[in-house]
Each structure stands twice: as structure tokens, then as C-alpha cells.
Amino acid sequence: MIAAVDSSVLVASLAMREPYHVECENVLFDHACYIYVHALAETFNTLTGNRLGYRFPASDTTMLLNESVQSQTKVVLLTADDVLAAMQQAESRGVRGGAVYDYLHLVAARKTGAARFYTLNTNDFKGIWRPGDPEIFHP
């Protein structure tokens, strides 16, 4: 089954201290997973920025992204036309402000034909989900 994941799943899959580490790691290994390219930057930001109460060195984070994430996922790029089309639909979906970043993860997942979208932040996505989008799942 084709699935897509956001950075919350990537972070938890890489950080053994995270509560859903094993479940997120299993999602990456058990599915053909796609990520929106922006998830790489979000994961780097979270792991190196001390938001979780600990900080990974940038070099270690980059190595983990290369060896664990890039080897287990396929990266989805959105064109400027894709992003602008998503922004045109944003108001009808209730997307405004920073929620556009979550919405673009969902747009990228839809572009791949993913049946499922995994996130640890299901509430952030359920409000913007519409028929035709991948189903939202917590690992």
C-alpha cells in the first residue's frame, strides 16, 4: 500500500526517546512511503532545535536523514503551479496561516496517490481533509 508521512512520523522514527518510535519506524518499513520534501527541513529543525527537550547535532541529523529516511521513502516535489493551486483551494478547506504547511503535506500525499497519510498530529489534518485525500492515520 502506498502511504505518505509527515515530519512528526519521521522525527519519532529517528528519535528512540519518542513515545511512538517503534510504531513510526514500522510505518516506514512496512509501506511504500512518500514524504513532501519540506518534511526533511521540518525534521532537521525539530531534531536540531531542542524543541523536544533534547538536541541532535546537525551532522548526526543529516546522517540519519540520509541513511534512514531517504533510503526508506520517496520524496515528492510540488511545483509552483501545484502550490498555487493548493492555495486557491485553501480558503474552501479552512486553511490559513501556518496550516498551509500541513495542507501542502496532504497535497503532496494526494499527488502520489497514497491511500493513507500517517501523522502524530491527526487533529491538524482532519479539519482540512476532503474526499479524495488519503485517509488520515495515527501510527
CATH number of the domain at 38, please. Answer: 3.40.50.1010
Environment class of 94 (CB within 10 Å of its CB; exposed 0-12, middle 13-18, buried 19+): exposed
Ranges of residues in the chain with a pLDDT under 70 are: none
> What pLDDT shows up at residue 51?
78
> What pLDDT shows up at residue 50?
81
Query: For the chain, what's the residue count?
Result: 139
Domains: count for the chain: 1
Predicted TM-score (pTM) of this structure:
0.94
Cell 496550516 sits on residue: 99
Which domain range does residue 115 map to?
A: 2-137
